[in-house]
Structure formats: structure tokens, C-alpha cells
Structure 1
Amino acid sequence: MKKWLWIMLSVGVITLVFMMNYFIDKSQQQQSMIHSVSLTTSTSPEQQNIVEVKKMYKQTTDYFDYEQKQKADSLRMYYGQPGSTLNQYKELQGIQPSMIHDVNVHWKSEQHVIINIMKTNHQHKNKVYKQFKYNLSEM
């Protein structure tokens, strides 16, 4: 009876250690946005606003070989006035960032911007994959 108690206790402790390690690594990964790549930058027709679409990358750990890797995490549209630091952003939801390589920006007015996420089809022609419309004065 004592033998089974020690075996179960050992298995429980080992499981607890692995679970704690897993959740600690996950919590650290949430804060590890390491760099971004600008896909396009566009200024409004009368130079009042600017948007920049960036692909954001974060660092992850491969648990099989404990190798640090960079993974495309999200697409963001940063916006503001030309010459200022672009700190404000909007996440472009519903797309896989690793599959996106081309983005077009069209201005309807100084405040209204359309972001077209492009995808290449089988004939190697770009098609609009997803479209986002924003009014910068309401953000």
C-alpha cells in the first residue's frame, strides 16, 4: 500500500512541475513581442494623416528542442499625423499574418482609409483577401 502511495505522489509532483513550467513559459511569451516589419506606409491626400501597416512578430519556444523562434503574430495599422511617433494602432483581425505579404492603402478622404489585404491566386494575380475601412477621426 505504501509503495502505491509513493508512486502516485511522485507522479503528482512531476506533473505539477511540468504544468508550472508550461504556464510560466506561456505567461512570459505573452509579453515577448520582439519586432515588426512594415508592409506599407501611406499619407492622406492633403498630408494630414498617415497610416503604417506592420506585421508583428513574437518570440516563442519550441518545446521539443527548446529553440527560440520568431512567429508572425498579428497585423496592426498604426496611425497618426505625419512627423509624429505612431503609437496608436488598430489590430487587423481575422487573418493569418504569416500568409500576408502585400497590403494596399486607399484614401477616400483625409479621415477615411481603406486597407486591402492582398493574396496571390493561382494565376499569380493579386486579389483582395480582406478589406478594412476606418474613419480615423472616430478612433
Structure 2
Amino acid sequence: MTTTPAPTLTAESQGWFSKAENWLDARGKGAWIVAMVLGFIFFWPIGLALLAYMIWSNRMFNGSCKSRRHRHGHSHRFTSSGNSAFDAYKADTLKRLEDEQGAFEAFLQRLRDAKDKSEFDAFMEDRAKATDADEAKA
């Protein structure tokens, strides 16, 4: 079975839209935002169209905190510096920091749970007092 490679698009075979899109992508999200703002300034439908395209193609949300949070918790892959002693030190330090972060997050969760429990206990105590006061009046 033979497969033919997919045709690659050269700069000459791409349309003006693809060229502009590649140019903006090469410069990052800031270039897209500048293009959108300029579109709104010069002719508002162009700015609106760029905003819709950025949202539709997920260019607006790439590299956001959400993606960083998604990567959190996965082991990090780092390239070697060429110095094995430094690489071992870096790996040990990162492992220690990840362990400390996990312990700190567990500590914060215990604090939140204790606060929630004390607030709930205070609510139930106030409710019981209100119920006893209502029964005493009746």
C-alpha cells in the first residue's frame, strides 16, 4: 500500500487570508488583539468579524490559566542541561517542591473543611436556639 504525502502549501499557493492568519499566529495572541482593535477603529464589522473568528477558532483562549491548571499535576519533562549533577539536583528540588505544594494544598483543604464545619455547627446551634425560643413562646 502506497500513500501519497499530503500536499504542502507554499506561500504562493496560500490565499491572502491564510497568509495573514499565519503571520498573526507567528506573532502571538497580542497581534490578533491588535488586529481586532484596529479593525474596530477603522471599520467596526471587520473588528467584529475578527473577534468572532478568534473565539470560534479558540485563538482567544489558548495559553490561558485554564491550560496551565490542566497541565498541573503531570510530571514535567525537562531537557538535559548536559550536567548530570545539576540535572539530578534540579529533579530532586522540583520533586521536593511538588511534595511541599501538595502538603500545603492538603493543609489548606483541612483549614477550609474545619472552617466549614465550625460555620455549620454555629448555624445548627443558632437554629436549635431559635427553635427552642419558638417552642417556649407557644
Give me the TM-score of the superposition, normalised by structure 1.
Answer: 0.26
* Greater per-residue strand proportion: 1
Whose radius of gyration is greater, 1 or 2?
Answer: 2
Bigger RCO of structures 1 and 2 (CA < 8 A, at least 6 apart): 1
| More helix by percentage | 2
